[in-house]
Each structure stands twice: as C-alpha cells, then as structure tokens.
Amino acid sequence: MAPSLRLLLALLCAAPAFGLPTSPYEVKESVNPPHGWVQHSTAPPEHSIELRIGLPQPNFGILESHLYEVSDPDHHRYGQHLSKEEVEELVAPHPGSLDAVDEWLAFHGIQEEDISRSPAKDWITLSLPVELVEKMLDTKYHVWKHTKTGDYIVRTTSYSLPIHLHEHVDVIQPTTMFSQFKPFRSTISKVEAAPATSATDSLGSLVNPATGLTIDASCNVTITVSCLQQLYNAVGFTPSAKGNSIGITGYLEEFASIADLEAFFVQQVPTAENSSFKFVSVNGGINNQSDPGFEASLDVQFAFGLSHPIPPTFFSTAGSPPFIADDDTPTNTNEPYLNWLDFILSQEKIPLSISTSYGDDEQTVPESFAKRVCADFAQLGARGTSLIFSSGDHGVGDGDSNPATQTCFTNNGKNETKFIPTFPATCPFVTSVGATDNVAPEVAVSRFFSGGGFSNYFSRPSYQDPTVPNFLSKLAPGTFEGLFNPNGRGFPDVSAQGDRFEIIVGGQAFLIGGTSASAPTVNGFISLLNDVRLSKGLPSLGFLNPFIYKKGFAGFTDILSGHNSGCGTTGFNVTKGWDPVTGFGTPNFGKLKELVLETGA
C-alpha cells in the first residue's frame, strides 16, 4: 500500500466518529407490536412527528449517589437536596455526544433554529415529517390500529442509526412505543350515582382493630375526606402551609372544574370554601371548565381537600396520542407524558409532592425509554420533590381484559404467559401506591385488584434488599415460577383506600374507585408530613422510598387480607410486612409525623 494511502486511512481512523455522518446503519432498537395492535396502513409522508432524542448522561451514577444520600434518613446529608443547576450539571451529555448528534442532524438539513433542547441538553426535540424521519432512521412508519379501543397511532417496530451514533444516543421516540397511557381508575362501570343520603350522614361508628381508631360506619359505604382523616389518624391537624406546595398532573384532556371543586369543598371541606388551585398549562394544555373529567375531579378534590390550605397546582398537559386515520390534517402522535417532564424540570420552583394517576403495562413502553423517563424522576427526587404513582387496577395482569380471564402474553415474540407489571409504578425512583377497601379492618381492594408485582426492566433497588427477599421466602417453592422476575423492583410501596370515593363532576355526586384514588390520597398525606417538617425548619421529604423502607414503615398499618388476581391466577397474597399487593400498608399520620421529625432533625 502506498504511504500516502496508509496516511489517509490512518487519519480517517483517528478522526472523531462523528465526522462520518454516512457510516453504515445498524439497528438501534426493535420490538414486536403488543397484542391488540395491527398494522392498518402506510403512514402519510407529511404526517408530523415530534421526535425526541435522548442523549446519554455519563454522570448519572453520580446523581444517583447524591439522590440516595440526601434521601437516606441515616445519612448525614439527609434532606440536603440539590439545586436545579447542580442536577442539570450531573445529567448533561458529553460534548462529543452533542457534536455527533448535531452533525448528523445537520447532514439531514436540520439547523439549530429547528431544535429545542432541554436545560441540561440531554433531550433534543424537533418536529419533522414522517418521510424525513424514515430517511434519518432507515425505517418505515405505519398507522397501527388497536383492535379493542379503535385507537390509531403512527409507529415503527424497528429503527436504525449510523453505527458511530449508537454510543451517543440512548433513545429516540416516538418510534417503537405502543403504550396506551391511561388513567388508573376502575372501569367506567365502577362509576355510579352517589347514594341519596349524604356521605357525611352517620351510621354509627366502627373501630379499626389494627389501629384502635374510631371511624364513622358510613365510611364502609362512601369515602370522604373526613373518612380518610379518621381512618389515617389526621383528625384535627391543620397545616400552616408556609413554604409548602402540592401538585396534580392531568393528561388526555382530563379537565378539573373549579365549580365542582368548590361544591366538593362546601360538602366535605367547609374550611376550604372559596379557594381553588393554580392552573399551569404545559405544551398548550387547557382546562376546559365545560368538560370536567372524572379522573381530574377525583385527583384535585381529594388531594387538595386533604391538604388544604397548602397551595395546590393542577398541571394540564396537552396531547392525546391516538391519530385519526382519515383526518386530512395529520396530528402529533407523541405521548404527552414527556412534555410534562420537560416542563417541570425546567422550572426553578416545583411542588414538593406530586401525584400521577396514569400509566400503562410496562412491556408496552420500550425499556430504553422507560429507563430514561425513570432517570428524569430521579432528578426531581434529588431536588426535593416526592413523586407518587398509582400501581394500576388489574392485579398482576395487563389492563386490556378481565383479571380473571387475562392471558397476559409477553411482547417478546414468544407469546409466553407472564405477569405484567406497570410503568411508571415500577421505576425505583418513585413511590407506588396500591389500593385497599373497607375500614374495620382494611383489606386489599376487592371490586378490582390492586396492581402489584415485580419489574422486568428495573432490578431490585438496594432499599428493598432487607424487605423483599423476606416476602419471596414465604412463597411456597415453585409458586408462579417463570411468571415474574424475583430480582425485579417490587411494587407497590404503600397503599391507601381506593374505592367508593364521593366526588362532584358536572355538579353531580358520583362514586369512583381505582388506585387513581389511592395516589392523590397518599399525596395529600405526604404534603401534610412535609408541613410538619417545614414548620420545624426541616427540608421536605423528597424521594420517599429510602425513608419508608428504613424507618417510615413503622408509621404504616399492615394489611393482612386480600390478593391481586390476574392472568388467570389469584395473584400474590397479602402477607405480614411488605407484599406486592399493598406494600407496607396504609398511612397512620399520627405515627408518621413523629417519625419524620426524628429524621434529619
């Protein structure tokens, strides 16, 4: 070989990989379409896709170490949460990744003015037509139809990137994500007209044998704010609200009516009359007062009713993934959830506790995407915010069928039968909430089944090591062998009442149930606990799980009856201590307020 040719080859090999925008393509990610989705037609070439590119976070391990230190009640740094700027510095991508991706985008005619970047520059967002995205990702998009719901989405089952880009890109969506992000409330048949008698009418009293607390017998029929205060030992507590805050997320055009909230307050929380919430629009989200939703009403009425007068915020994020196949004007088909994360992470001040009553089967969310979203949750926890999620309403099964008849097939192309965990409840950086029923004693909810089990994506976090193996040791040898991942993150962490909540929608009273009720309930009580700490000059609780698993469990009432059916099985049984049905049980505010003052004081 001539010297000049050898020199040229040497220079090419030594050049940065990002200088080769036309390097050969290689598959980055591929999936089998989840059950129920069928290919409908070719995606219109002009259809607009809001493409999101997640760049690697090389220092995320350092952020995770900080998160656990500031969340460990026995660590000297407990409560020393990080600032927005400190978190952004730790999740920023390497400059080489930024250069590589920017050059690839420029190669396809995309300039800086076409790009939106997250504050840490770890996410890139850009709106592009399908035909260009197909060229960039060497793929083909199709319109897919869900046979049960009739929803349409624009997705591909595989995409590729130039080989040199693989190390510079974690994830690109929407590509392979077939998630049907939805509220975790029981099916609409569970929403029924409230009884003619007022929920506050007394039917005598009952004593919870586990706590010794007296509760109105009417709470076995209808759950009100007063019932929750009685059941969870918070009667008579009034927060100061100084420096505190609480938030609720709203999606999929679920709107929260101010008039309905006022009517709810008149009926159940008279001290909150003439108060409301701060409304925050995310990505153009609205709050249509003429179209109140059951989910939004449930969330804001109970979370804000329990926590009044702590300043409340309702976030409405625009975006509804289904695509109308015969619409002449193509619309966005991205999931709205990441829009909220982009927004909240860019804010200097964020609520100290936030609950979300939405999610989906973990297997419908590509693992790469789930892990990046989970990493974003870690950022919020490091900044001092408690994130609370519903665990789901379909036991150990999927959300597409009756728990008693679910087949629970995997999406790995093998059609294996396995339990189907729920995301985002399986993320180890959030607190997952299951559901209970009855008041004397409480049991795992029976009208539907509290979501719970073990993640197939996330390994068991260290804070669960002293606890979850104890539950697994109680299972008879071979129980559900091969149906779940015993090394996965177990969920839920805790639970709360989740059925027959009386809410006001469109001026009328209804009863509603689901872990969608349990999550805002726990949110309300965490907000009260934050108030206890803030009133003593202590920081907010932040990421809850290390505290709960190390000390806080002593402030929860163990649930000892029930199970969570699904996949043609009875699911897991409730046991003494933590279990993947009700977690550590339900809150005892009187005990918890003492425990949170013993920590980090």
Residues with a catalytic annotation lie at: 295, 299, 516
Helix axis angle for 258-268 and 294-307, nearest 10°, is 50
Q: How far is Cα 156 from Cα 376, in angstroms, rounded to an integer? A: 25
Contact 445, 560 (CB under 8 A): no
**AA letter at 152:** Y
Q: Is 241 exposed, middle or buried (0-12, 13-18, 19+ CB in 10 A)?
A: middle
Nearest to 566 by CA among 469, 480, 474, 441: 480
- For the chain, the farthest-separated pair of C-alpha atoms sits apart, in whole angstroms, at 99
CA distance 255 to 26: 43
Q: What is the rounded CA–CA span in Å between residue 216 and residue 203?
A: 7
- Residues 408 and 420: their CA atoms lie apart, in Å, by 7
Residues 6 or more apart in contact with residue 446 via CB below 8 angstroms: 437, 562
ω into 466 cis (within 30 of 0): no
Q: For residue 470, what are its two tokens? A: 């104890």
Are 193 and 184 within 8 A, CB to CB? no
Contact of 330 with 48, CB cutoff 8 Å: yes
Question: Three-class SS of residue 21?
Answer: coil
* E strand residue ranges, 267-416: 278-282, 312-317, 353-356, 358-361, 386-390
Nearest Cα neighbor of 128 from 43, 44, 21, 51 is 51
Contact present, 205 and 216 (Cβ < 8 Å):
yes
Distance separating alpha carbons of residues 95 and 307, to the nearest angstrom: 44
